Amino acid sequence: MLASFLHAAVIAGTPLSFAILGEILTERAGKLNLGVEGLMLMGAVIGFKTALLTSNPFLALCGAALAGAAGALIFAFLTVTLRSNQVVTGLALTIFGTGFASFVGQGLAGFVTPEQVKSFFHPLPLPLLSRIPFLGEVLFDHSIFVYAGYLVVIAAYFYLYKTRFGLNLRAVGENTAAADAAGINITKYKFVHILAGGILAGLGGAFLSLVYVPTWQDNITTGRGWIAVALVIFCKWNPIRIFIGAFLFGGLDIIGFRLQGLNIHISQYFFDMLPYIVTVLILIMMSVKDSKESSPPAELGRPYFREDK
Partner 1 sequence: MIQIVKKGETSKKKKILIHISALFFALLTASLFILLMGHSPLKVYLSMIQGAFGTSYRLSETIVKTIPLVITSLGIALAFRMKFWNIGAEGQIIMGAFGASWFALSYPHLPSWILLPLMALGGLIGGGLWALIPAFFRARFRTNETIFTLMLNYIALKWITYLQNGPWKDPGALGFPKIPNFHEHAVLPRLFGIHIGWLIALILVALSALFINRTKKGYEIQVIGESENTARYAGINVPGTILTTIFLSGALCGLTGMIEASAINKTLSVEITGGVGYTAIITAWLANLKEPLIIVVSFLFAAMIQGSSYIQMAFQIPQSAAEILQGLILFFVLGSEFFIRYRIHIRRNPVKGVS
Which of 187, 224, 199 has its CA nearest to residue 70?
Answer: 199
Distance CA 98, CA 105 (A): 10
CB of 2 to partner 1, least distance (A): 27
Binding of partner 1 by 91 (CB under 8 A): yes
Phi and psi torsions of 259, nearest 5°: -70, -25
Q: Which residues of 260-275 are buried (b: 16+ CB within 10 A; e: fewer)?
A: eeeeeeeeeeebeeeb
- Which amino acid is located at 237 in the chain? W
Contacts with partner 1 in 114-153 (CB under 8 A)? Answer: none
Length of the chain: 309
- CB–CB of 61/116 below 8 Å? no
CB of 136 to partner 1, least distance (A): 35
Over the window 191 to 230, marking each residue x when it contacts partner 1 by CB under 8 A and - when it does not, the resulting string is -------------------------------xx--xx-xx
Over the window 7 to 46, marking each residue x when it contacts partner 1 by CB under 8 A and - when it does not, the resulting string is ---------------------------x------------
Q: Which stretch binds partner 1 (CB under 8 A): 70-78, 119-127, 135-143, 243-251?
A: 70-78
Applying CB under 8 A, the site for partner 1 has a residue count of 47
Q: Which stretch binds partner 1 (CB under 8 A): 163-171, 205-213, 237-245, 280-288?
A: 280-288
Binding of partner 1 by 111 (CB under 8 A): no
- CB–CB of 68/205 below 8 Å? yes
Distance CA 121, CA 211 (A): 7
Task: Give the long-range contacts of residues 184-189, CB within 8 A, separation 24 or more.
Answer: 186/304, 187/80, 187/81, 189/29
Which of 52, 203, 57 has its CA nearest to residue 113?
Answer: 52
Binding of partner 1 by 56 (CB under 8 A): no
Binding of partner 1 by 269 (CB under 8 A): yes
Among 1, 2, 103, 261, binds partner 1 (CB under 8 A): 103
Q: How does DSSP assign 221-237, residue by residue?
A: TTTHHHHHHHHHHHTTT
Distance CA 10, CA 14 (A): 6
Binding of partner 1 by 98 (CB under 8 A): yes
Binding of partner 1 by 291 (CB under 8 A): no
Binding of partner 1 by 92 (CB under 8 A): yes
Contacts with partner 1 in 231-260 (CB under 8 A)? Answer: 233
Point out which residues bind partner 1 (CB under 8 A): 34, 74, 77-78, 82-85, 87-89, 91-93, 95-100, 102-103, 106, 222-223, 226-227, 229-230, 233, 267, 269-270, 272-273, 276-277, 279-280, 283-284, 287-288, 290, 305, 307-308
